[in-house]
């Protein structure tokens, strides 16, 4: 009789332990799902027992990781120009707003360089769109390799590029733009099939706070300076202060 009671007691204790383990595992699963639903894509669910729930947790973690990777890919596609690998105009608009707030708060300068490849339509007509695309990629690489680590080079659209220069006054921006202009002028473009060519670019500069104090105004001033450089003969740097 005592043995039977002991077996019953052990059985009840075992059931309590299993139920507690089950409830704990279910709580972990619910917590993990809730965190993921609220945007925490780094949280993983660690469950060992029971095996059925552990299997569900493993499947959930795998699904979460795949969704997280897809999210990173989509974010990259939303912010990066597919042809040149530079940041795109959407990301530039976001960055200039952030940098302008920082420059205002810290009483710093902020410069913008707007660049446009000279006679690019004629270049496209001569070498075709593939040649034009290759030229854009090589110009983009030249821009990236010729600016400071804190600067951001972006493709603004078509054959236009824009560079954001934090903590950079107008005189410093002029020197950087001149370096970019010279680097592009000296660039030998490899267009495939033993074809090489060259091109030039014109540059317009605007600086906060001397040129303008709002993002769109700063870009407009850089565009006016670029227009001035184009009208002055191209392959040169101009600024508006």
- % of the chain at pLDDT higher than 70: 68
Q: Encode pLDDT of 31-75 as tens digits.
A: 766 676 666 766 676 655 456 555 555 565 666 566 556 555 555
Tokens of residue 219, six digits? 């870009």
Domain ranges of the chain: 2-79, 89-240
Q: What does the alpha-carbon distance between residue 165 and residue 110 come to, in Å, rounded to a whole number?
A: 6
Catalytic residue numbers read 159
- Bridge partner list, 204: 114, 238
Q: What is the pLDDT of residues 128-172, one digit of tens each?
A: 999 999 999 999 999 999 999 999 999 999 999 999 999 999 999
Burial pattern 5-42, b for ≥16 Cβ within 10 A else e, equals eeeeeeeeeeeeeeeeeeeebeeebeebeebbeeeeee
Say what percent of the chain tops pLDDT 90. 65
In this structure, whether the domain defined by 89-240 belongs to CATH 3.40.30.10 is answered with: no
């Amino acid at each position: 009789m005592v043995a039977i009671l002991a077996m019953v007691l052990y059985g009840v204790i075992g059931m309590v332990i299993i139920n507690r383990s089950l409830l704990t595992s279910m709580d972990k699963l619910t917590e993990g799902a809730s965190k993921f639903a609220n945007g925490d894509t780094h949280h993983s669910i660690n469950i060992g027992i029971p095996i059925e729930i552990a299997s569900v947790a493993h499947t959930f973690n795998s699904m979460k990781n795949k969704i997280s990777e897809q999210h990173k890919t989509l974010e990259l596609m939303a912010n990066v120009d597919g042809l040149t690998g530079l940041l795109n105009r959407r990301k530039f608009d976001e960055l200039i707003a952030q940098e302008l707030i920082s420059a205002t708060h810290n009483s710093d300068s902020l410069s913008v360089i707007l660049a446009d490849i000279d006679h690019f339509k004629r270049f496209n007509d001569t070498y075709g769109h593939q040649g034009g695309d290759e030229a854009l990629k090589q110009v983009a690489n030249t821009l990236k390799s010729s600016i400071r680590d804190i600067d951001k080079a972006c493709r603004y659209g078509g054959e236009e590029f824009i560079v954001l220069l934090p903590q950079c006054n107008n005189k410093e921006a002029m020197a950087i733009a001149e370096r970019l202009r010279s680097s592009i002028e000296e660039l030998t473009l490899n267009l495939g099939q033993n074809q090489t060519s060259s091109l030039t670019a014109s540059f317009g500069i605007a600086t906060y706070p001397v040129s303008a104090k709002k993002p769109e105004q700063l870009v407009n001033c850089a565009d006016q300076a670029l227009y001035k450089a184009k009208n002055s003969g191209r392959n040169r740097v101009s600024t508006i202060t």
